[in-house]
Homo-oligomer: A and B are copies of this chain.
Amino acid sequence: MKTDHVDTILAQWKAQRPDLDCSPMGVIGRVGRAKQLMTIRVDGVFKQFDLSNIEFDILASLRRASEAVTPTELYQTLMLSSGAMSTRVDGLVKRGLVERQASEIDRRSCLVTLTTEGLVLIDKVVEAHVDNEREMLSSLDDNEQAQLAALLKKWLMANE
């Protein structure tokens, strides 16, 4: 029976603390380990377009949105501080990927929108990103992928 890295850790705990049932680590440890390895490969694609993970998330949020988005919505959705979001948006503005437009109804506020250049870029990046993800999952067949998504979704619906 083949093993992964988490099996090794579980065996070590079993040897040192046989009184402890570490089986939850077999689930949560693997979620963390998988995420870690997936992140490296996902970020590799973003890096090809000179984007960080968060910059991708901002551009993708703007691309997905059917209505205009404010900085407040962005930092709340992406779980960043308002200050951090200002800094990030600044960087994207400097690169000509997004613009700030004054709000017509609330003069304290603004709307962050993609420039044409930003739209073209995020559309390219998303395509490369999804292709990369599909390739990353090729070690599981369609049924296994669906099962995995369904189990995680069940957990998420109870915990998010």
Interface residue? A148 (CB, 8 A): yes
In this complex, the interface size class of chain A, counting residues with CB under 8 Å from chain B, is: 35 or more
List which A111-160 residues lie within 8 A (CB) of chain B: 123, 126-127, 130, 133-134, 136-137, 139-140, 144-145, 147-149, 151-160
Q: Given the complex of chains A and B, what is the CA–CA distance between A152 and B28 in angstroms?
A: 10
Q: Which residue of B lies closest to A148 (CB)?
A: B151
Interface residue? A80 (CB, 8 A): no
Over the window 23-66 of chain A, the binary record of Cβ atoms lying under 8 Å from chain B Cβ atoms (1 yes, 0 no) is: 11111101111110111001000000000000000000001111
Are B38 and A28 closer than 8 Å at their CB atoms?
yes
Q: Which residue of B lies closest to A32 (CB)?
A: B35
Chain B residues with Cβ under 8 A from A134's Cβ? Answer: 24
Q: Given the complex of chains A and B, what is the CA–CA distance between A111 and B34 in angstroms?
A: 30
Interface residue? A15 (CB, 8 A): yes
In the assembled complex, the CB of A122 is this many whole angstroms from the nearest CB of chain B, namely: 10
- Say which residue of B20, B27, B37, B155 sits within 8 Å of A159 (CB atoms): B37
A sample of 27 cross-chain residue pairs with beta-carbon separation below 8 angstroms, ordered by A number, consists of A2-B157, A3-B157, A5-B160, A6-B153, A7-B153, A13-B64, A16-B63, A17-B63, A20-B127, A22-B130, A27-B133, A27-B140, A30-B148, A30-B149, A30-B153, A31-B35, A31-B152, A32-B38, A33-B160, A34-B35, A139-B154, A139-B155, A144-B151, A147-B147, A147-B151, A148-B152, A151-B151
Give the top 7 A-B pairs by smallest Cβ distance, nearest first.
A139-B158, A24-B133, A30-B152, A12-B64, A35-B35, A4-B156, A148-B151
